[in-house]
Chains A and B, each alone.
Chain A
Amino acid sequence: MDFDKSQLMRGTLEGCILKIISVRTTYGYEIIELLRTSGFKDVSEGTIYPILMRLLRAGMIVSELLPSPLGPKRKYYTITETGLEYLSSFYSYWTQLSTAVAEIFGEEGSCNSE
């Protein structure tokens, strides 16, 4: 049976996108490129746009329309205080979770029962 990646991706991507925005004010395509170079190969506008909208509505990021060299105005995203708080709690939980997963799977990441 194939593993459903989307469930795991959704929550993880939210934190990663927030982290990228926390480094500097950025726009959608730049976020996608950064995610792709970091290893999220299947990411596209269709994946990140709903997440950005969710973050925007939750008040974790704010957007601003600025001129772009490619023609239409681009939406640039900046993190807010709420977003920073969320990011720090996301990261602490993620560390806790990844340690727990690594503990269960072992150092080699093997899933075979001995």
Chain B
Amino acid sequence: MKRVLKKSLASVSQDDRKIIRRISTYLLSHHMNEVVYEETVSDLIGMAEECRARGEDFSQAIGPDIEGFSRELIKNAPRMSWPERVLADLQWFLYCFGMLVPVMYIVNLIFTGTGAGAQLTFTATILTFIKYCVVCTAVVTGIFIFRRRGFGAPKLTLGIYIAVFVILFTVTDSLERFVPTDIVIHLDVIIWVVTFGVLLLLCWLIRRLSAMTTAYMRVLGQRLQRSFHIHRDSGDTDKDKDNEKEKDNEE
């Protein structure tokens, strides 16, 4: 969500904010196009503010069936494309994984003083990285599933997720038997942070451009169609006038 939207969302009452958050969670978890989503949330905030100014209840204006209202909103709205969805999940993954080195470095710095920190390098076994990678994947999948759970995620999906989580946990725990623990990786913290920062920025930029293209192409197409329609109509009337003139001349 944009900073401006977050700011205006903070200005509405807590009850109204809860309703808007529930709706926005539904829209996001059902992959509404990002640009359209922001527009919808901004409309809802405006609606809540107007209700308050009129002394009315926003929850009554929306109605008791919030899920039904959200479903209606998503029905004809453009959705995220597959590449956008993949990029959104990848962005979460990069964010989680990118945090590993800076967090561990800071923890190292706090507990061991300046020893490892002075060289700005982080050292860990390959096993730590594999384990962390598994945890990141589980977190990203969990975020997606638990977001949908707000409106009752299918029990089967939830069950599969929990089962996969338990299996992953067991497998990760027994990794030490298969992965040699003597492989150690030395990483430069700054290079790591910059690399993940750039990757995250690229992901966001591509996703945003793709969302904007989807949202605006439809509007642009309609405008073009409309202007073509108007031109065609005016062209027809010009032709009609010419025909009438020709008829008059013949007479």
Contact = CB atoms under 8 A, between A and B. Distances in A.
A11 interface: no
B50 A72 contact: yes
A45 B49 contact: no
A71 B54 CA distance: 11
B218 A49 contact: no
Nearest to B227: A81
Contacts of A72: 45-46, 49-50
Interface in B52-104: 53-54, 60-63, 69, 72-73, 75-78
B195 interface: no
B109 to A, nearest CB: 47
Given A44-B60, A47-B63, A28 B76 contact: no
Contacts of A24: none
A74 B76 contact: no
A40 to B, nearest CB: 14
B69 to A, nearest CB: 5
A106 interface: no
Question: How extensive is the interface on chain B, given as a class?
Answer: 20 to 34
Contacts of A58: 76
B213 interface: no
A44 B50 contact: no
A53 B62 contact: no
Interface string A23-50: 0000011000000000000001111011
27 contacts: A44-B60, A44-B61, A45-B47, A45-B61, A45-B62, A46-B61, A47-B63, A49-B73, A50-B73, A53-B40, A53-B73, A53-B76, A53-B77, A59-B222, A59-B225, A70-B50, A71-B49, A71-B50, A71-B53, A72-B46, A72-B49, A73-B46, A75-B46, A81-B226, A81-B230, A82-B226, A82-B229
Closest 7 CB pairs of A and B: A50-B72, A59-B222, A46-B63, A45-B61, A70-B53, A46-B62, A72-B49
Interface of A: 28-29, 44-47, 49-50, 53-54, 57-59, 68, 70-75, 80-82
